[in-house]
């Protein structure tokens, strides 16, 4: 699979302090969603800003579709879009007016801009609210409009920085559908999130960054196998309060264990089967909660 984005041995320090990026290398393949996970202060934001060309690095290289993209080279990043975590909209303008402004920032105009706005409003399910002031929209609607503003120029690479923060479940599902539409259209995405379930659901591969380094990269199953292992944990609770825990390889090993407990004269009250999760992988790798 061809590379949409390549980050190679990038180093960045601020004011001579600890390195924010310490030899980061990363590849985003065409048409994939790559999750970027890390504790606060791990280097996620600096890496995203580096890819966007907003941070000049001490060494290393960023390539976009094979083309070197030094800091300040806007032409090399013309195929890249960015949706920030903060709502970056004009509250007194309508949704349509916001998109018109952001489209002009992307040097769109005329019929091309009008068509891009119509498509973005439909994609974000905001067509019926297009002429309402943005300040009157719900938090979820503002999030979707924020995303729409970031894709008007039809980027081939999109950086999404926690796009579902603070939204209701219905809006979150709509955002997931929007992302799947982008993926289906061949857009390559880097997706930062604090929600492990989002990373498991949306991302083809996951990169874990900590202390300015990529410490793990792969699919969820690959990360599980290389860290905590694929064995499942069965927890059997008995009516007299005992709690028995054992690791098993297959779910069909549960029944013999339960029969063994009953053969000891104990009655089973509850059985829990825990499968390896991305959260456990993250804690194993970093020793920290994602929100720390």
List Cβ neighbours of 3 (8 Å cut-off, separation of 6 or more). 27, 28, 29, 30, 63, 65, 66
Task: Mark the ranges of the chain whose per-residue pLDDT is less than 70.
Answer: 1, 16, 71-73, 76, 288-292
* Res 161: pLDDT: 92
Render pLDDT for 199-223 as a digit per residue (tens, 0 to 9): 999 999 999 999 999 999 999 999 9
| DSSP state for residue 45 in the 8-state scheme | H
* Res 31: pLDDT: 93
Q: Looking at the chain, which runs of residues are DSSP E strands?
A: 3-13, 19-29, 33-37, 59-64, 67-68, 80-83, 157-161, 188-192, 205-210, 213-218, 232-238, 243-248, 268-274
* Res 137: pLDDT: 96
What is each CA distance from 3 to 30, 69, 204, in whole angstroms?
6, 14, 14
What is each CA distance from 154 to 26, 106, 158, 257, 289, in whole angstroms?
23, 10, 9, 55, 35
pTM score, whole prediction: 0.85
**Mean pLDDT score across all residues of the chain:** 90
Note whether 98 and 145 are within 8 A (CB).
yes
| DSSP state for residue 87 in the 8-state scheme | -
Residue 3: strand pairing partners: 29
């Amino acid at each position: 699979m061809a590379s949409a984005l390549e980050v190679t041995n990038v180093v960045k320090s601020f004011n001579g302090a600890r390195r924010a990026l310490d030899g980061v290398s990363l590849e985003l393949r065409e048409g994939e969603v790559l999750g970027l996970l890390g504790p606060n202060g791990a280097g996620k934001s600096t890496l995203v800003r580096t890819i966007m060309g907003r941070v000049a690095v001490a060494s290393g290289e960023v390539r976009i579709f094979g083309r070197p993209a030094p800091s300040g080279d806007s032409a090399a990043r013309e195929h890249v879009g960015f949706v920030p975590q903060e709502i970056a909209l004009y509250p007194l303008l309508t949704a349509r007016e916001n998109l018109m402004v952001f489209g002009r920032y992307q040097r769109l105009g005329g019929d091309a801009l009008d068509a891009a706005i119509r498509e973005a409003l439909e994609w974000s399910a905001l067509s019926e609210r297009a002429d309402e002031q943005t300040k009157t929209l719900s938090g979820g609607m503002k999030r979707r409009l924020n995303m729409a503003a970031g894709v008007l120029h039809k980027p081939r690479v999109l950086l999404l920085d926690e796009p579902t923060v603070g939204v209701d479940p219905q809006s979150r599902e709509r955002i997931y559908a929007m992302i799947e539409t982008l993926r289906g259209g061949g857009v390559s995405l880097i997706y930062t999130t604090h929600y492990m379930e989002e990373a498991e659901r949306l991302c083809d591969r996951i990169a874990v960054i900590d202390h300015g380094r990529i410490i793990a990269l792969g699919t969820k199953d690959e990360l599980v196998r290389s860290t905590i292992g694929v064995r499942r944990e069965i927890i059997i609770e008995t009516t007299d309060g005992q709690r028995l825990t054992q690791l098993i390889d297959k779910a069909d090993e549960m029944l013999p264990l339960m029969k063994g407990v009953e053969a000891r004269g104990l009655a089973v009250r509850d059985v829990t089967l825990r499968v390896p999760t991305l959260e456990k992988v993250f804690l194993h790798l970093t020793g920290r909660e994602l929100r720390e």
